[in-house]
Amino acid sequence: MASDGLRGRDGARGVVRSVCVLLALPLLVSCGGETSGDGDTEPAERTVVTLTWMEREVSVETLNRMFAETGSEEVLGNTDERSQDVLLESKVVRPVENGEGHEVVLDKDQWDIDAIGRLNRLDAALGGAMWPNEVTWCGDPVDGETFVNAYTEEFEDVFDTHEEYEGSIADYVDCGDGRP
């Protein structure tokens, strides 16, 4: 009887191991490369476009357009102080060189996210700038948050790559239908 108990426990371990292998197998296969017709293995390009990334992209492009249409001082004047500080500290917004006002930095390599600690602080600051400011250049005025949300609700999971979304977002912020 003692041997039956051990066999049962080892049998259960075997079943658990088999289940784990079966569950991991699709992940291992998907991490492998794609095979071309000549047998060479090429790494599969995987792009993950998250809702947070989309919201950030639309918000940055919208903020840039708000600065152009309304003026950076008015837009920042409508934005709470904490959001202003984060936008400036992260270098997403900076004073215009040899001029008045501020500009949005579209080159993400120039941003300093380490200065603010976490990317979600930037996302909150962008939200803080969107909510009190209006998009006035595409028909009836709407607040920036509504404008951003309308895009993300319509286009979540529509495109596969960041590049496709970037083209779509540029078109949308320029009053297009978001389908370049």
pLDDT at 46 over 90: no
Do residues 31 and 113 share a domain? Answer: no
More confident residue, 7 or 47: 47
Total domains in the chain come to: 2
Judge whether 179 lies within some domain: no
Name the least confident of 34-43, 63-72, 117-126, 135-144: 34-43
What are the pLDDT digits (tens) for 158-168?
Answer: 999 999 999 99
Do residues 16 and 102 share a domain? Answer: no
83 in Cβ contact with 128 (< 8 Å): yes
What are the pLDDT digits (tens) for 22-32?
Answer: 444 344 334 44
Do residues 70 and 143 share a domain? Answer: yes
More confident residue, 14 or 120: 120
Do residues 37 and 61 share a domain? Answer: no
Do residues 63 and 37 share a domain? Answer: no
Q: How high is the mean pLDDT of the chain?
A: 83
Q: What six digits make up the tokens of 35?
A: 């095979």
Judge whether 16 lies within some domain: yes
The pTM of this model reads 0.74
- Tell me the residue range of the domain where 95 lies: 51-173
User: How many other CB atoms are found less than 10 A from the CB of residue 25?
Assistant: 10
The dihedrals phi and psi of 50, each to the nearest 5 degrees, come to -90, 160
Q: CB-based contacts of 40: which residues, under 8 Å, 6+ apart?
A: none
